[in-house]
Amino acid sequence: MSEMGEAARDRRALVKNGLVLGSLLAVPGAVSAAQKMARLTSRDLKPMSQPPVPGHAAPVLTSSKVVRPELLRRALASLQRHGDRVKRDRIAIVDFAAPSSQPRLHFLDIASGRSTSLLVAHGSGSDPAHTGYLARFSNQSGSNASCEGAFLAADYYVGKHGRSQRLIGLDPTNDNALSRAIVVHAAWYANKDMLRTHGMLGRSQGCFAVGESDLAEMFARLGEGRMIYATKV
């Protein structure tokens, strides 16, 4: 695609995110007509890199340019609930309905509606057959599964995975995150070259593991005090 075509597509996607965001902020809990206007088209969507997994529902169409309206609605509702504990200028939204082969960690700028997306791994306990799709969540210690809900990005430290960031679970579905050491860290199995060799990322022990070359951007965009909202809808 030409540079002019790419730029035009980016502008369309930015407008769509802005329309949905503006609608939801203006009318809390309502998607209204703006959701219809922001419905994804084939031009916005990247082709799925793998076929549906037998026995699973068809893959959800996702885009690295647009956060799906229902997911965005839930994330912003969560931001409203936890707004006194988190910064509200930017939010990270993890779309666990998408496979690990898709950029499904979206950083959304609340003011502009612009989003930037990264690859992120899920837990082995959430995908025991290693299909690339998250099948279940768990908040239990020892489950090695991802958990869902709102997370407060806390302090940085250096641990067994190198530079990492602690997360505090804000919901009953993830309130064991700190004791389980569910954190943000980099991992070789979350690098982009895993897609060329395996068609999917490897799995974490429940942490939000990103590619080694993406960690600096992850830390810069998330920072301390902001929220990660993760779920599957």
CATH code of the domain containing 197: 2.40.440.10
Q: Domain residues for 143?
A: 3-231
Q: What is the average pLDDT across 51-77?
A: 71
Lowest mean pLDDT among 44-48, 140-144, 182-186, 201-205: 44-48
Q: Please tell me the total count of domains within the chain.
A: 1
Q: What is the average pLDDT across 67-76?
A: 95
Q: Return d(Cα 208, Cα 190) in angstroms, integer.
A: 10
Is the pLDDT higher at 113 or at 163?
Answer: 163
Instruction: Give residue 66's pLDDT.
Output: 76
Q: Return d(Cα 60, Cα 9) in angstroms, integer.
A: 21
The whole model's pTM is what? 0.79
Beta bridge partners of 185: 164, 209
Is there a contact between 113 and 14 (Cβ–Cβ < 8 Å)? yes
